[in-house]
Amino acid sequence: MVRERLSSLAERVRGELDRALLEDNSPSEIAGSFSIGVFITSMPTLGTGLFLFVVLAYISDRISKIALLASVIVLNPVVKWGVYAASFWLGIQLLGVPPGGVPSTVSFSAGSEIVVRLLVGNLIIAVVFTAIAYPLSLRLVRECHRRNLEPTELPAEILSD
């Protein structure tokens, strides 16, 4: 029973991946989808970002599911810890050290002040990442289309230039 359900689920996932790979999005739609994914993935969504990806893919056929997934791979959980640290540092640079937030005397009363600094820094970093992601991914997608490359051929072909 469990094996049949897992097999059925795996088959559905494969079917969805096949459909996603056959998407016919324009280069700007793919780059835009990747950029939206980078923005959402950069923010501290605590896992709700993936739910938001599903909602976006459901409500718009112009969203590239593969590009959204690629943004999750680029900003994976290991990388996100660095993003969070940089976000908090940037927030402190802009808003100052929160009262009660000095490392030797951190208290729970500083919680909301710490979160504000994290979110401010994170928003700025997400906007910068998004501004960089769009033109880079657009150029990459256009180059793939120009060379008529499959996604699996991309790294060797692009890096050989």
Helices (H), the chain: 2-21, 27-42, 48-59, 65-74, 77-95, 111-147, 154-159
Count, residues in the chain: 161
Cα–Cα dist 103/64, whole Å: 43
Q: What confidence category does residue 46 fall into, taking pLDDT thresholds of 50, 70 and 90?
A: confident
For residue 142, the model assigns a pLDDT of: 85
pLDDT tens-digit profile of 111-155?
788 888 889 999 999 999 999 999 998 988 888 777 776 555 555
Which DSSP symbol is given to 102? Answer: S
Q: Is 57 exposed, middle or buried (0-12, 13-18, 19+ CB in 10 A)?
A: middle
Q: What angle do CA 99, 78, 158 make, to 5 degrees?
A: 130
Asked whether 94 and 78 are in contact (CB, 8 A), the reply is: no
Asked whether 95 and 59 are in contact (CB, 8 A), the reply is: no
pLDDT tens-digit profile of 89-123?
999 999 888 776 555 555 556 678 888 888 999 99
For residue 77, the model assigns a pLDDT of: 80
For residue 66, the model assigns a pLDDT of: 86
